[in-house]
Amino acid sequence: GALDRARVEAELMRAQRLESLSLLAAGLSHDLRNILQPLLIMPDLLKARTDDPQLRHLADVIAECGRRGHEMAESMLSFVRGSRTPSEPIRVAMLFEAVALLLRSNLPPEVELELEVADPELTVHANYTELQQVLLNLALNAIQAMPDGGRLTLLAQADTDPQGLAWLRIAVSDEGTGMSPEVLSNLFNPFFTTKADGTGLGLMSCKRIIEGAQGRISVQSAPGEGTRFDLLLPAYVAAPDAPVVEAPVAAGSGQSILVVDGEATRLSLLGNALSSQGYHLQLACDGAAALRWMQQEAMPALVIADAGSKLLSASSLLREMAALGYHGPVLVLESEDVPVRRSRFPSGVPVHVLRKPLEMQQVFRSVAEALG
């Protein structure tokens, strides 16, 4: 009937909106990763040029911001694709402190933030950026629900379910306006929102993240009585630490390296970093420029090529280089959305692959291995 047709049309419109949102998120994620790349490369360059402990600490802070920012971009992309991103052990006390720091600019003076961690050693195994995103989303919703002020509480404690399994409980509670049963029943549905400027995707995303971490999310609320969200995540038991000792990377001895990358900032940073490591660099912004240089100059000892080059793919570039007489090693920079297919490369070419985002120590190590 007419009602069924209206429902089908509404679902179709929702699907179209989600598809458009997915395309937008994928594009934003790609651009954001390129913008953040210098934050992962520059700190090592800065630390190599100073012994000042304060400046070295600031470089570490920049690197950490870059890493977390890149994880946010990856999280956005994984949401679009429905895939999971790597998890890590997270000390909940430190996570709460980070969330509190981020909330300061949005915390009205009439709202009191309280952090309660039953045990400072409480640890959960999850994706840091995604879990931080969940807590920020819930906390910001709680702040908006308390226009007249009140207490916002973040609580963490060990818990056990009726089957005797160990869990970590994280609760976000407020003393705000609360929600009606009707609102509660639709809370996690896509595009459902009670805010004039809301998208209706925040809580749906929170639910996806928690369930993706093998956890559960529940909510208790009533009009005028505030709201409490409970996140139950599997308790984390740390394995014994295995010592990881990496040998220092040997500096170059003047070997010639040709770098081909259409991203100008990354190209420049790679040139500076590898030059400081003792290599002789030639930079090309596209495959055509690289081929022109190779025709006019001597063959390099190594070619570094971005797999996502727009004008000439890495595999096509290597075939052209092989025709000019280059048969040396190549280090291909790949990303999750442009994976390297080794079958497309000329036979006999030693192909090494390095996944972006790039961190300088990884680059130095990969270059040394490729040069043998």
Note the pLDDT of residue 7.
66
| Domain count of the fold of the chain | 3
Residue 208's nearest CA partner among 80, 90, 79 is 79
For residues 89 and 163, give the distance between their C-alpha atoms in angstroms, rounded to a whole number.
24
Residue 244 is assigned to a structural domain of this protein: no
Distance CA 168, CA 122 (A): 8
- Single out the residue of 371, 245, 262 nearest to residue 311, CA to CA: 262
173 or 342, which is more confident: 173
Q: 286 vs 4, which has greater pLDDT? A: 286
- The domain of 42 spans 1-84
Question: How does residue 193 score in pLDDT terms, banded at 50, 70 and 90?
Answer: low
Q: Are residues 73 and 97 in the same domain?
A: no
Instruction: Supply the pLDDT for residue 154.
Output: 97
One domain, residues 224 and 269: no
Residue 126 phi, psi dihedral angles, 5° rounding:
-160, 175
- Whether residue 249 is contained in a domain is answered as no
C-alpha distances (whole Å) from 161 to each of 97, 123, 153 are 27, 18, 23
Based on the fold, state whether residues 112 and 204 are members of the same structural domain.
Answer: yes
157: nearest Cα among 219, 115, 209, 128: 115
Average pLDDT over residues 249-261: 91
Alpha carbon of 153 to those of 99, 108, 191, 326: distances in Å?
12, 15, 27, 63
Query: Tokens standing for 304?
Result: 């570094």
Tokens found for residue 310: 């727009």
- End position of a domain, from candidates 205, 238, 271: 238
Contact residues for 110 (Cβ-Cβ < 8 A; gap 6+): 146, 148, 149, 150
pLDDT of residue 115: 95
pTM of this structure: 0.54
Residue 19 lies in a domain: yes
For residues 326 and 316, what is the distance between their CA atoms, to the nearest angstrom? 13
Half-sphere exposure of 137 (CA within 13 A, CB side): 19
Strand locations in 97-236 (E): 111-117, 123-126, 150-160, 166-174, 216-221, 227-234
The dihedral through the CA atoms of 2, 199, 112, 96 has a sign that is positive
Look at residue 194 in the predicted model and tell me its pLDDT.
60
CB-CB contact of 91 with 236 (8 Å): no
pLDDT (0 to 100) of residue 190? 67
- Parallel, antiparallel, or unpaired for β 88-91 and 123-126? antiparallel
CB 172 within 8 A of CB 136: no
* Domain annotation covers residue 138: yes
199 within some domain: yes
Residues 63 and 115 in one domain: no
Q: Which residues contact 176 (CB under 8 A, 6 or more apart)?
A: 142, 144, 145, 146, 150, 226, 227
Do the domain assignments include residue 215? yes
- Does 200 share its domain with 109? yes
- In the DSSP assignment, the letter for residue 137 is H
Question: Does residue 251 belong to any structural domain of this protein?
Answer: no
Distance from C-alpha of 206 to C-alpha of 202, rounded to nearest angstrom: 6
pLDDT at 276 over 80: yes
User: Residues 108, 231: one domain?
Assistant: yes
Residue range 56-74: average pLDDT?
78
Quote the pLDDT of residue 34: 75
Distance CA 211, CA 353 (A): 33
